[in-house]
Amino acid sequence: MHDETCSKLFSFFVEELKDIYWAEKHLVKTLPKMQKAATNEELQDAFANHCDQTKEHVSRLDQIFEIIGEKAVAQKCEAMEGLTKEGETIIADTENGTSTRDVGLIMAAQKVEHYEIATYGSLVQLASTLELDEVVELLKITLDEEKQADKNLTNLAESKVNHMSLEEMEA
Ligand SMILES: [Fe+2]
Ligand SMILES: [Fe+2]
């Protein structure tokens, strides 16, 4: 009988948890900036709602660290920092109050969601291999919320924002 919590795979799993823990905390600070920069009210609401969910993602990770008996430590995630910097560049490069900025914000936000979906998808698999059943269930809840957030953004782009931007004329 092997002890999963002493394996190299377990250590790797913990390192990856620290990485996404940093990323989620970083997003709690970033999403309000994106909300502020957005023009479309539904997009503003989408960012506000997902910010609330993201706070839950952080506390779910706190719970996971506790379950596995590891200290909750945030380790800088360079990928997430890069993705959010890209969002800041989009804000700087587009005009306030335009749908074109909204298009850019949606694109930046979807890149973030896809990063999270990839991460949580892999973490679910790892936790399952490590037979951490309770952790699997918690990670799956977050994974589903990330997928839903991504779908909502696609719907907003398709149904409204992209068309509104198409009608915007160069000044
Ligand atoms: Fe998240
Ligand atoms: Fe997310």
In this prediction, residue 1 carries a pLDDT of 43
* Residue 5 DSSP code: G
Place of tokens 């037979």: 131
Looking only at Cα atoms, what is the longest distance across the chain? 70
Alpha-carbon torsion 55, 136, 76, 103, what sign? negative
The whole-number pLDDT of residue 168 equals 84
Q: Are 14 and 70 in contact (CB under 8 A)?
A: yes
Give me the tens of pLDDT residue by residue for the chain, a chain 171 residues long.
457 677 999 999 999 999 999 999 999 999 999 999 999 999 999 999 999 999 999 999 999 999 999 999 999 999 999 999 999 999 999 999 999 999 999 999 999 999 999 999 999 999 999 999 999 999 999 999 999 999 999 999 999 888 888 888 776
Cβ count near 44 (within 10 Å) = 17
**Token pair for residue 156?**
């907003």
Ligand 2 midpoint to CA 149 (Å): 7
Q: What's the pTM?
A: 0.93
Closest CA to 18 of 124, 109, 149, 119: 119
**Predicted local confidence at residue 5, as pLDDT:** 72
How far does residue 93's CA lie from ligand 2's centre (Å)? 24
**pLDDT of res. 3:** 73
Distance 58 CA to ligand 2 centre (A): 11
**From the CB of residue 38, how many other CB atoms can be counted at a distance below 10 Å?**
24
Kindly give the distance from the C-alpha atom of residue 68 to the centroid of ligand 2, in angstroms, as a whole number. Answer: 23
